[in-house]
Amino acid sequence: MPNNPLSFRPERKSEVEKSHRTKPSTAHRVGHGLRSVYLDNAAATPLDAKVLKAMLPYFSSIAANPSSLHSAGQAANKAVTQARKSIAEIINGHADEIIFTSGGTESDNLAINGIISVIPISNSVIPAKAGIQNPMDPRIRKDDKRESLPHVVTTAIEHHAILELLTRLQKNGAIDLTVIKPQKNGVVKVDDIMSAVNDRTVLVSVMYANNEIGTIQPIGDIGRAILKYRAAKRGTLYEVRGTFPLFHSDACQAAGYLDLNVEKLHVDLLTLNGGKIYGPKGIGLLFVRRGVKLSPTVIGGGQERGLRSGTENVPGIVGMAKALELVQKNHEKESKRLAQFRDRLIKGLLRIPKSRLNGDPAERLPNNVNISFMDIEGEAAMLYLDAKGISCSTGSACASTSLDPSHVILALGMSYEAAHGSLRFSLGHDTIRSDIDYVIKVMPGIVEMLRKISPVTLDMSHF
């Protein structure tokens, strides 16, 4: 057996050279002759070589604290300032609207907790009825307690960083929550979102593209509808404080493939994550539109406009800016390339009996394939695929320690059995056609073997 683990893939160099990468990544290649196909890019992406090159000086030669006043500190500060400016230009925002965090989860938490914390129950948006100007007026307090709470609207297919936090806030009596189910294709209707909005609604949070099934939501349309709603409420009997409801979107999965122009999306808050765009892990950001007031969630030295204290992660910030620059520069070309592979994989896997595509076939990310196979356990299939050198997942990596079926698949109206048999394949920069063909080749045998030992045999009505 040859010592070079890439020797069994002579086609890789020529194919990768057609993409924006200058050479193939070996981050997911293993030895002993085992072919390795990494199709879990929705969970984490390998660091781009150009990103690493941009980061390296800030680990050693420019390693000072960017808050320090000496020249070394100011050199680091300059790098942070330039990264902030670069990201702002990419998303068509302003540099002072970029708040760096440790990742997507923290950004989501800052958006939600930051909004809810500045709107205590006693100051929630309430009808300014004639003669009742004080929100603590006894006549208001006699109403149902729920009617005095800030109201939040979200969807049933959001990331756990959104749903778990909102559910906890609801249980603690801090908010009134409405969770909107998507259509069976995984796309949320604008009318369903807006029908849930009322005069107490302070926040609407809808993810741009789903991390499990890849469906793309009509964020721009929702944003326009919210703007129209806010404009219509001004001057009525209801007091809409500031610009409520605010609109937040988690765009972590969308950043590598979709337009991030915040003026076209009409968002007030936008979450991004470096680890999903071939940048470093442990770095993210929250776009906070000018005029939006948030309460800080990390208290300390006052960095990041006082919203997220702590010494800035200079290498991570520089790396994220570079990564975002690269993926946005190449996203149209890369999306076209991956969409062809995505559709080829979907077609090949759906030849397996009793299989179903989860999510809309067209309104989905170009790198996402999520298939349910009846009568098997997705976890078992994933492990057998891993033994063949194929890395994929059964859903969100953030919930991989849970044995519960995917909440996203269940929200589509699917059965528990279908949700348990789902697999997510997420393609990336290093994906080539032979990777897709390899999965199509080995998957039928794995499904057949698992069905033979399965104690359950169900008909397609469970789909």
For residues 179 and 215, give the distance between their C-alpha atoms in angstroms, rounded to a whole number. 17
Q: d(Cα 44, Cα 405) in Å, to the nearest integer? A: 21
Residue with tokens 């057609």, as numbered in its chain: 18
Q: Which amino acid is at 87?
A: I
Distance CA 11, CA 438 (A): 14
Distance CA 298, CA 143 (A): 35
Q: Which of 199, 313, 321 is nearest to 255 (CA)?
A: 321
DSSP state of 366: T
Q: How far apart are CA 35 and CA 95, in angstroms?
A: 44
- Nearest CA to 210 out of 367, 320, 372, 328 is that of 367
Assess contact for 51 and 278: CB atoms under 8 A: yes
User: Which 3 state secondary structure label does DSSP give 293?
Assistant: coil
Return the bridge partners of 265, or none: none
C-alpha 156/C-alpha 159 separation (Å) is 9
- The one catalytic residue in 398, 410, 449, 458 is 398
Spatial distance between the Cα atoms of 278 and 48, rounded to a whole number of angstroms: 5
312: CB partners within 8 A, 6+ apart: 66, 67, 76, 80, 100, 303, 304
Handedness of CA 198, 199, 201, 204 (dihedral sign): positive
Is residue 179 within a helix (H) or strand (E), and if so which, with residue range?
A: strand 176-180
For 367, the 3-state DSSP assignment is coil
Provide CB contacts within 8 A for 192, sequence distance 6+. 180, 181
Closest CA to 32 of 13, 59, 4, 51: 4
CA distance 113 to 166: 9
What is the Cα–Cα distance from 192 to 411, expressed in whole angstroms? 15
**Measured at the alpha carbon of residue 331, what is the angle toward residues 288 and 440, in degrees to the nearest 5?**
120
For 335, counting Cβ atoms within 10 Å of its Cβ (0-12 exposed, 13-18 middle, 19+ buried), the class is middle
Is-contact 175 267, C-beta < 8 A?
no
Task: Respond yes or no: is residue 392 known to be catalytic.
Answer: no
Active site residues: 398
